[in-house]
Amino acid sequence: MAYAQPIKLSLNWHLNKSIILNQSLQLKFSKPNFKMKFGKQFTSQMVPEWEEAYMNYNFLKTILKEILFYRQQRLNHTSPAYPSPKKVKLSKRLSFYRAFSGLTNRFGNYKDRDNDDEVILASELQDHDYQTMFLRASEEGAENELVFFRRLDDEFNKVIGFYKGKVDEVVMEAEELNKQMDALFALKVRINDPNFHTSSTPPNSGLSPLEEIQEHEEQPQRDQTKMVSLEILNHVKINVAQESVLSNWKTIFGGTKSDLSFSQEEYRMAHAKLKQAFIEFHRKLRLLKSYCFLNQLAFSKIMKKYDKVTSRNASKAYLEMVKNSYLSQSDEVLKLMERVEAAFITHFANANRSQGMSDLRPRVRRDKHRVTFLVGCLFGCSIALVVAVILTIHTRDLLKSAGRDQYMINIFPLYSLFVYIVLHMLMYAANIYFWKRFRVNYSYIFGFKPNTELGYKEVLLLSSALLVLTLAAVLSNLEMEMDERTQSFTTLTELVPLCLVTVVLLIMICPFNIMYRASRFFLIVTLWHCVCAPLYKVNFPDFFLGDQMTSQVQLLRTVEFYICYYGWGDFKKRSNTCNQSNVFEIFYIFIAVIPYWFRFLQCIRQAFEHNDYDPAMNGLKYLSTIVAVVTRTIYVQRRGKTMRIIAASSSGVATIYNTYWDIVKDWGLLGKDSKNPWLRDKLILPNKSVYFVAMVMNVILRLAWMQTVLDFHEAPWLHRSAMIFVVASLEIVRRGLWNFFRVENEHLNNVGKFRAFKSIPLPFSYEYEDKEL
């Protein structure tokens, strides 16, 4: 392949070209921050999942600090009576290790070099395996410098190996995209010109779209006419149907691919899928180019620092080796980027370069100051409203009023629904903050579209706005209850919570591009996948949302209470007759089981897809929880000693099972043979005690839920509705803690496998054995 042949480029040109390319990534190096050290800049620009593949700059800098410390100690202990050792002449030693330069001086001109000043010999031993020989090993205290160059070689060979492996991957992906584009062109011709026959056309040049652009670059005077071969359509099948309940049902009981029907809809959907594949492929190339540039810069920085610490001149020789290495000389990624951009602009942007580059390189969304301002204002309003509610209750002495029980039974659960949502959003905002702080790539894990994910400030904005609406409604409800002029408007008073629910639902399903539409629709689609389990393939967002729902059982029961209270007309007379209905009690049990049942079905789907026992065991966990929830609810409704024993036993088993799965499976902790005792080999948080505190908190909060439903929560000073609210809130807090460590474990699994890109399903699949045209 022509684009796989490396071109000899100078290091200066290569770095300048890299800087130009990385301006599109909006690297911080394009806008230097002189207050930030290079080590922090280097870390901030890493691809999180590739962090272990980058040069370990901080470790090498630690070795240099040891060298500096030794030299300072040596300088302090050196006196005029004991002069420091003189420089050792190593000309004979250098000539021993240097290769024969040749009669034609083929290895370069050494005439201007001062052999006595040479510190290292850096060379390539074999294919992409480099080694540096330190020539001052006989000097006193040179052990640390030997270690430095040994580790420097290890890091350089690691970077070279990783980069070459990734380049080979993108070259293979380019070949696959070539085949996909050939099939797309053939489909387009077949649809627009059914009478077109390959046999009546000149021979196919054999060039794919990416290769065609290369030929155009290298031979501009050559006729570039390429005729499409329809023979491809005899060997491909298409999979472009939108994922739906019906399509997934057919997938389970039928084939996974479909034959071509040569319709415009097929072409349109195949075109859209290939467009996404090109965008993701270009993103991979950009990050790979950034990886190459950052590592070259890191090696340059560390060698300059070595020269400064040791007062030697070794960087020139080492950087010359870097310049001649595969890392600097290979140009496959650069050329592929140019061809992908040209092909994308031509075939997916109607030759509009501005639009094409905007799709390939979307601008990074910046934080808006007005979001921060609004968050502060809304939380300030929330605090003021909380104070107003407390003062109203205190001045009117509502806690001791005759209608206290009636209010707590009828009205308090209606407003608690919004508090559950706000609390969950606040925990999610805290998770996002710490994920970003510790460089957890949550956007990739959840599969958000570029620049559509919500930051913690946006989530705080939404939660604070909902909190203000809720508190304002609570305050207005209290005022209408106490104001003599509004005593006759009892019905209107009772409708305030329902109006607030209606407003929230209308905003949620609003089709207009306002209020973070992409995130709202992403949530709706994911929720639909949970409801339709197991008919949809289970991705991380699907089962993650399913787990969130299992911690919002009380919210679902409050929704049932809304339906009962307003559907049966109890709000008109402010009397709660829901608990007197057998239908309500049955659905009270059923609705609590729903989220666990969804997760059970998702686990069954995962077990069949991956042929793995772990999802099946996870499904048993949810079945045990279903039994515990059902027995506990029956005990609360019917009482009885026997039922209490059954509920306690099933709850105990479910709690132990769930706690074990949380800590060992979902968090990946409690490893006996781990480098970090009873944790895991890799940790993100620097303080290990946080993990042990989180494990203890997880156990306590689970036990708190179990003890409450088993009547171990006697509190005469607190109403039962308030106690249910407190316990439900504690479960939401526990889920928030679980979320952070669950996503952290997923991120570390991606890091271990260097997974940093989404897998875009391609529209065409080749059905012949050799996979070649």
For 245, the token pair is 């309940």
CA-based nearest residue to 324, from 468, 160, 464: 160
For 480, the token pair is 């209408």
* Average pLDDT of the residues in 443-467: 92
Instruction: pLDDT band for 715, please (50, 70, 90 cuts).
Output: low
CA-based nearest residue to 698, from 582, 551, 517: 551
Tell me, what's the pLDDT at 699? 93
The stretches of 204-257 forming alpha helices (DSSP H) are 209-218, 245-253
Q: Which of 398-402, 627-631, 633-637 has the highest mean pLDDT?
A: 627-631
Instruction: Return the higher-pLDDT residue of 767 and 321.
Output: 321
pLDDT over 80 at 68, yes or no:
yes
Encode pLDDT of 717-745 as tens digits: 678 888 889 989 999 999 999 999 999 99
CB within 8 Å of 186: residues ≥ 6 apart: 228, 229, 230, 232, 233
Dist CA 389 CA 199 (whole Å): 83
Domain-wise residue ranges, the chain: 1-364, 369-752
Instruction: Return the higher-pLDDT residue of 729 and 705.
Output: 729
Contact present, 59 and 151 (Cβ < 8 Å): yes
DSSP 483-500: -GGGTT-HHHHHTHHHHH
CA 255, 257, 258: angle at the middle one, nearest 5? Answer: 100
Tell me, what's the pLDDT at 24? 37
* Average pLDDT of the residues in 569-575: 78
pLDDT over 50 at 20, yes or no:
no
What backbone torsions phi and psi does residue 236 show, to the nearest 5 degrees?
A: -125, 155
Contact present, 124 and 321 (Cβ < 8 Å): yes
pLDDT over 80 at 88, yes or no:
no
pLDDT over 80 at 163, yes or no:
yes
pLDDT over 90 at 420, yes or no:
yes
Tell me, what's the pLDDT at 245? 64
What is the phi-psi region of residue 625: left when phi exceeds 0, alpha when psi lies from -120 to 50, beta otherwise? Answer: alpha
For 431, the token pair is 């998770």
Instruction: pLDDT band for 333, please (50, 70, 90 cuts).
Output: very high
CB within 8 Å of 18: residues ≥ 6 apart: 289, 292, 293, 296
Tell me, what's the pLDDT at 129? 81
* Average pLDDT of the residues in 97-110: 46
Encode pLDDT of 480-495 as tens digits: 766 555 555 667 778 8
Tell me, what's the pLDDT at 477? 82
pLDDT over 70 at 649, yes or no:
yes
Dist CA 575 CA 594 (whole Å): 28
Tell me, what's the pLDDT at 210? 55
Pseudo-torsion of CA 75, 80, 84, 88, nearest 10°? 150
Tell me, what's the pLDDT at 767? 67
Structure-token match 């040569």, residue found: 262
Dist CA 154 CA 148 (whole Å): 10
Tell me, what's the pLDDT at 111? 41
Least confident window among 355-359, 404-408, 634-638, 685-689: 404-408
3-state secondary structure 715-769: CCCCCHHHHHHHHHHHHHHHHHHHHHHHHHHHHHHHHHCCCCCCCCCCCEEECCC
Least confident window among 60-74, 646-660, 728-742: 60-74
Tell me, what's the pLDDT at 612? 86
Contact present, 26 and 18 (Cβ < 8 Å): no
Tell me, what's the pLDDT at 609? 87
699-705 long-range CB contacts below 8 Å, 24 or more apart?
Answer: 699/659, 701/730, 701/731, 701/733, 701/734, 702/655, 702/658, 702/659, 702/734, 703/655, 704/730, 705/730, 705/731
Dist CA 704 CA 601 (whole Å): 28
Q: Which of 3-7, 264-268, 283-287 has the highest mean pLDDT?
A: 283-287
Instruction: Return the higher-pLDDT residue of 33 and 430.
Output: 430
pLDDT over 80 at 448, yes or no:
yes
Dist CA 85 CA 139 (whole Å): 8
Instruction: pLDDT band for 36, please (50, 70, 90 cuts).
Output: low
Q: b/e per residue, 728-763, with b = 16+ CB within 10 A?
A: bbbbbbbbbbbbbbbbbbbbbebbeebbbeeeeebb
Dist CA 394 CA 388 (whole Å): 10
Strand partners, 134: 120
Instruction: pLDDT band for 427, please (50, 70, 90 cuts).
Output: very high
Dist CA 282 CA 341 (whole Å): 8
Instruction: Return the higher-pLDDT residue of 237 and 519.
Output: 519
- Strand intervals (E) in 272-322: none
Instruction: Return the higher-pLDDT residue of 405 and 603.
Output: 603
- Cβ-in-10-Å burial (0-12, 13-18, 19+) of 711 comes to exposed
pLDDT over 50 at 624, yes or no:
yes
CA-based nearest residue to 230, from 269, 191, 267, 268: 191
Tell me, what's the pLDDT at 562? 94
* Average pLDDT of the residues in 109-117: 46
pLDDT over 60 at 757, yes or no:
yes
Tell me, what's the pLDDT at 229? 77
pLDDT over 70 at 408, yes or no:
yes
Instruction: pLDDT band for 751, please (50, 70, 90 cuts).
Output: confident
3-state class of 342 per DSSP?
helix
pLDDT over 60 at 314, yes or no:
yes
Dist CA 333 CA 339 (whole Å): 10
For 696, the token pair is 């203890």
Q: Which of 66-80, 212-226, 674-688 has the highest mean pLDDT?
A: 674-688
Dist CA 748 CA 361 (whole Å): 27
Strand partners, 237: 765
* Average pLDDT of the residues in 754-772: 72
Gyration radius from the chain CA atoms:
33
* Average pLDDT of the residues in 618-637: 92
